[in-house]
A = this chain, B = another copy of it.
Amino acid sequence: MKKTEMSSTAPTKEKNKEKSKQQILDAVGKLLVEKGYAALKVNDIATTAKLDKKLIYRYFGSTEQLLDEFVKSRDFWSNVNDERAPQPINDGGKAFTKAMFHEQFDTIFENKEFQHVLLWRLSQQRQSLQKLVEQQEASGELLFEHIIQPQFKENTPTFRAISAIIISGLYYLDMSTAHNSSIFCGLDMASTEGRNEVKKAIDFLVEQTYQHL
C-alpha cells in the first residue's frame, strides 16, 4: 500500500527540491530587476527566495554557479534565433530586417530582466555572460550569410556596420530609458510618441540602406 502510494503520487521530496531551486533562480531574477546585478548577494537571494542560503550551496555549489545557472536558464535570444520569417523574403530581407529591429527594440523594452543582463554583461566578465555574446553573434551570422550577403555583395561589411549601430543603439536606448532619464536627444523614449519616432527612424534608415547602399 505504501509502495502504491509512492508510485502513484510523485515523490514530494524531489518536488520540493525542484521547487526550491526554482524559487532561488526566481529570486535572482527578481533581485536583478529590482536592484541590479550588484545586489546579487547570497544572503539577499536566500531571503528573497524565503529559503536558507545553505540550500544555495547544496543545490548550486556556489553563488557563482548559481548565477551561471540563472543565465543559462533564460533564453534571451530566442526571439532572434527563431526562424519565423513572417513574409516570404523576396525583397532582399528588407521587411524582415525592419521587423526584427522593431521586435528587438520592443522586446528589450518590456523585458527588464533582459535589460539588466545586457548591463551586467557590459560590466562583468562572467563566462556564462560571455557565452550570450557568442550565441548572439552566431545567430546573427546566419542572417548575414543567408539574407544580407546575397543582397549586398561587397557592401556587406557596411551593412554589418549599419546593423551594429542600429542594434546597439536600440540596446542602449532601452537600457538608458529604464535606468536614467527617459529623454534622449529630446525624445521621450518611454512614451509611445518617442518610441514611434525611433521606429520611423529605423524604417527610414533601413529603407535608405536598401535603396542606396
Contact = CB atoms under 8 A, between A and B. Distances in A.
Interface of A: 36, 38, 119, 121-125, 130, 133-134, 137, 140-141, 144, 157-158, 160-173, 175-176, 179-181, 183-187, 189, 194, 197-198, 200-202, 204-205, 208-209, 212-213
A162 B165 CA distance: 11
B123 A36 contact: yes
> Which secondary structure dominates where chain A touches chain B?
helix
A145 to B, nearest CB: 9
B133 A180 contact: yes
A197 to B, nearest CB: 4
Given A123-B179, A175-B122, A164 B141 contact: no
A173 B164 contact: yes
Number of copies: 2
Which one of A133, A144, A184, A194 has the highest number of Cβ atoms from chain B below 10 Å of its Cβ?
A184
Contacts of A163: 185
11 contacts: A38-B123, A133-B180, A141-B186, A158-B200, A161-B200, A165-B201, A165-B205, A168-B168, A168-B173, A171-B172, A204-B209
